[in-house]
Amino acid sequence: MKLATLRAGKDTTAAVLVSDDTAYLALPYPDVGTMVADPQWRRTADSVVSGQRSANGVSASAAELTALLPAAGKVICCGLNYSEHIQEMGRELPEYPTLFAKYADTLTGARDTIDVVGSERVDWEAELAVVVGSPLYRADEEQALQAIAGYTVANDVSMRDWQNRTLQWFQGKAFDATTPVGPVMITPDEVEGDFEVRGYVNGELVQAGNTGTLVFGPAKLLSYISQFTVLRPGDLILTGTPGGVGMGMKPPRFLQDGDLLTTEIAGIGRLENRIRLHHNDGRATYSAPVTSTATN
Amino acid sequence: MKLATLRAGKDTTAAVLVSDDTAYLALPYPDVGTMVADPQWRRTADSVVSGQRSANGVSASAAELTALLPAAGKVICCGLNYSEHIQEMGRELPEYPTLFAKYADTLTGARDTIDVVGSERVDWEAELAVVVGSPLYRADEEQALQAIAGYTVANDVSMRDWQNRTLQWFQGKAFDATTPVGPVMITPDEVEGDFEVRGYVNGELVQAGNTGTLVFGPAKLLSYISQFTVLRPGDLILTGTPGGVGMGMKPPRFLQDGDLLTTEIAGIGRLENRIRLHHNDGRATYSAPVTSTATN
């Protein structure tokens, strides 16, 4: 099953992809994160699918995708996780995963424009991401595997100038609405083997990696994280990026205003995000009260 | 005004300290974070205080304090921020704040026992923390100052073994229910000048610093963070710790099972947390669904 979060007027709705991936049917949840928190969500989705009428559907091409998990409680990312890339850099494989955190505000939709204010070194990081489906605390790998609700595509877009201002990466990784996630979450029963993760800039392939070469695969990561903090349904774990980021190129290459960033995992789908760079003119732009967990 | 979050049966309630700090009166909000999100909260609190009857009060000594902000959307911490400490280490003052993130799950109450599983290098970091009272996005320092709901005491208890496993500190900083916050939030109108921050282990003074020596004071920090991510009412910013942490001692000193960690800021209050260290026996302890934003 493939699930998405769609815009629906001022609100959002979870939806399931049907009819050979050509149409979405709305589900009675505001988003995929809320959906997976309901232990009965599969039964609900099955009944919507089996009772489907074409009148209910939205064509996949017309559907407006928004952030898959707009209210994720935790978004935890792993760095330095592709063994091929680590070894080609001449480093030893790490004993522990390098982890850092973001917030739901960092996430955005699969087709959304990514507006970046005040960075001149915007880089890409194509990644497989894992949606947590059941609570996990001090879980072993088998329990962690069972707790995976599904897999999705993410790009951990990184403001390298901010990331490297200090030793801690957080500030370069947590710009609001800069990490696209989607277009769908695919459930584990539809997954066969490993994933091919690819990143493109203006159609040019810049990154490729196979998740079979992850040092810490999804179950290992979830188990490890759950040793110190509880994971809940709708939390999102980004598994790291393969070689080919702009910062590593000689000379380094960064995203330019107007570039199209494409992130693709065969079998799940593709993110297509236009990059817009905005100069920080130093003028404070205090916006009126922000009431949503805004992704726009 | 001094505000706290108290346990009230299975629930929690925001409360205001009255009668020369000897009693709490319950306020119609589940916690201080929810309270500050209501633009009318001061009026509500004023009317509760002016209409107070002793029958409504809970004596301060009997009140059960819980995490001040159990549902904080963002808990962002600053490292390396006390200029005296930086200079005594022979380093230059930083141009940018070193920032890292935690989650509400990391927080715990002012008198709660801190149970740590699987770390043998548990260290202390006494800190002033700032509660955000209004939405902030790309705000200047004056706007940031106006958006401060109040100040509180925190201890960024750090699992140094986990913190130093990789370059990113997050995993050693985000153990569930290990960062005590409270006992109260004091509103800015009651604050005069800078704060003296002190940390004690079993009554022995180990840390002391004055927030007048912060490289990035509260308003600077909030303004800086708001350049990349929105801050909302109830978010919490930890401002960093002065010299005297256990890791910096020769030889290094860490908290032992049964130690009493005291964190104090004159004019705000004192955290008193007993430390309990638990061996990680490697046995997965999958707990049944965790439904709250648990701090216990």
Confidence of residue A287 (pLDDT cuts 50, 70, 90): very low
Residue A68 is assigned to a structural domain of this protein? no
Closest to A137 (Cβ–Cβ): which among B165, B169, B287? Answer: B287
Q: Which residues of B touch A96 (CB under 8 A)?
A: 165-166, 171
Q: Is B169 within 8 Å of chain A by CB?
A: yes
Q: Looking at chain A, list the stretches that DSSP marks H as alpha helix, in order from N- to C-terminal side.
A: 32-36, 41-50, 83-88, 141-146, 160-163, 170-173, 218-226
Does A103 contact B at CB distance below 8 Å? yes
Asked if the model's pLDDT at residue A284 lies above 70, the reply is no
What is the nearest CA distance from A269 to chain B, expressed in angstroms? 28
User: A256 lies in which domain range?
Assistant: 75-278
Residues 52-91 (B) with a CB less than 8 A from some CB of A:
73-74, 76, 79-80
**Closest Cβ–Cβ partner in B97, B134, B228 for A174:** B228
Confidence of residue A114 (pLDDT cuts 50, 70, 90): very high
- Count contacts between A and B (CB, < 8 Å): 152
Res A231 pLDDT > 50? yes
Average pLDDT over residues A53-58: 68
Average pLDDT value over all residues in chain A: 92
User: How high is the pLDDT of residue B279?
Assistant: 84
User: Would you say residue A254 has pLDDT above 80?
Assistant: yes
Beta bridge partners of A98: A79
Contacts with A232 from chain B: Cβ below 8 Å: 290
Does some domain include residue B149?
yes
Domain count within chain B = 2
* Residue type at A24 in one-letter notation: Y
Report which of residues A279 and B158 the model is more confident about: B158
Question: Distance (Å) from the C-alpha of residue A54 to the closest C-alpha of chain B?
Answer: 37
pLDDT tens digits for range B181-239: 999 999 999 999 999 999 999 999 999 999 999 999 999 999 999 999 999 999 999 99
- Please indicate, yes or no, whether residues A209 and A257 belong to a single structural domain of this protein: yes
Tell if the CB–CB gap between A97 and B166 is shorter than 8 Å. Answer: yes
pLDDT band at A285 (very low <50, low <70, confident <90, very high): very low
Give the pLDDT of residue B56.
67
- At B54, the pLDDT band (50, 70, 90 cuts) reads low
Partners of residue B95 in chain A, C-beta under 8 Å: 165
- Nearest CB among B135, B143, B168 relative to A290 is that of B135
Contacting residues of B for A228, CB less than 8 Å apart? 118, 159, 162, 171, 174-176
Q: Name, in order, each residue with C-beta under 8 angstroms of A160's C-beta and a sequence gap of 6 or more.
A: A119, A121, A122, A123, A172, A246, A247, A252, A254
**Same domain (yes/no): A125, A254:** yes
CATH number, residue B191: 3.90.850.10
Percent of chain A residues past pLDDT 90, beyond the cut: 87
Same-domain pairing of B196 and B249: yes
Q: Specify whether B18 is located in the same domain as B121.
A: no
Q: A 7-46 residues with CB below 8 A of B?
A: none
What is the mean predicted confidence (pLDDT) over B4-33?
95
The mean pLDDT of B252-271, rounded to a whole number, is 97
Q: Are B217 and A163 in contact (CB under 8 A)?
A: no
Asked if A93 and A240 sit in the same domain, the reply is yes
For A271-294, the DSSP string reads EEEEEEEE---S-----S---S--
B67 in a domain, yes or no? Answer: no
Residue that wins the pLDDT comparison between B211 and A281: B211
The answer to whether position B64 is within a domain reads: no
CA atoms of B222 and B149, how far apart (whole Å): 12
Which residues on A lie below 8 Å from B70 (Cβ)? none
Using pLDDT thresholds of 50, 70 and 90, give the confidence band for residue B284. very low
ipTM: 0.94
CB contact under 8 A, B286 and A169: no
Same domain, yes or no: B271 and B127: yes
Indicate if A23 and A165 belong to the same structural domain.
no
Residue A54: its pLDDT value, please? 52
- Of all residues in chain B, the percent with pLDDT exceeding 90 is 86
**Are A95 and A217 members of one domain?**
yes
B202: contact with A, CB 8 A cutoff: no
Is residue B294 included in any domain, yes or no? no
Q: Are strands B11-18 and B23-26 parallel, antiparallel or unpaired?
A: antiparallel
pLDDT band at B291 (very low <50, low <70, confident <90, very high): very low
